[in-house]
Amino acid sequence: MTFETVGADGSIKSEKMFKEVDERTTSYTYRSPTGLLSATQFTQPALTLMEKASFEDMRSKGLVQRDSSFAGHSLGEYSALAALADVMPIESFGFGRFLQRFDHASRCGT
């Protein structure tokens, strides 16, 4: 996987996302000195899953009525849609967001 960067001279170059990985690599564990939750591709799915779980917990305790309206902005839109419309099970929602963020990160270098 690669991403593009812009040099000081304005030139665009492609860089490997994981420099340690090549065609012969059979296994790789991503590590971050600040922890995985400081990396966006892990933080956003974790936040979304926590929001969905919190919503379901409140609903199960009768704190959220079925006809209530909710909205979200940016990442919160996914959580609101998942909570209200039950668009997919929580397990597949988290994995799908992870894959989407991982792919986005590989293209954008974030």
Q: What percent of the chain has pLDDT over 90?
A: 5
The structural domains of the chain, with segments of one domain joined by +, span: 34-108
pLDDT at site 9: 92
Rg (CA), the chain: 18
Copy the structure tokens of residue 68.
Answer: 């209530």
Q: Are 18 and 6 in contact (CB under 8 A)?
A: no
Read off the pLDDT of each residue in 11-22 and give the average, rounded to a whole number: 82
For residues 24-35, give the mean pLDDT.
Answer: 79
Please check whether the domain covering 34-108 is classified as CATH 3.40.710.10: no
Amino acid at 53: A
What's the mean pLDDT in 89-93? Answer: 57
The rounded distance, in Å, linking the Cα atoms of 110 and 4 is 11
Q: Is the pTM of this model over 0.85?
A: no
The secondary element (H helix, E strand) that includes residue 57 is: helix 40-60
Q: What is the chain's mean pLDDT, rounded?
A: 74
Q: What is the mean pLDDT of residues 57-66?
A: 87
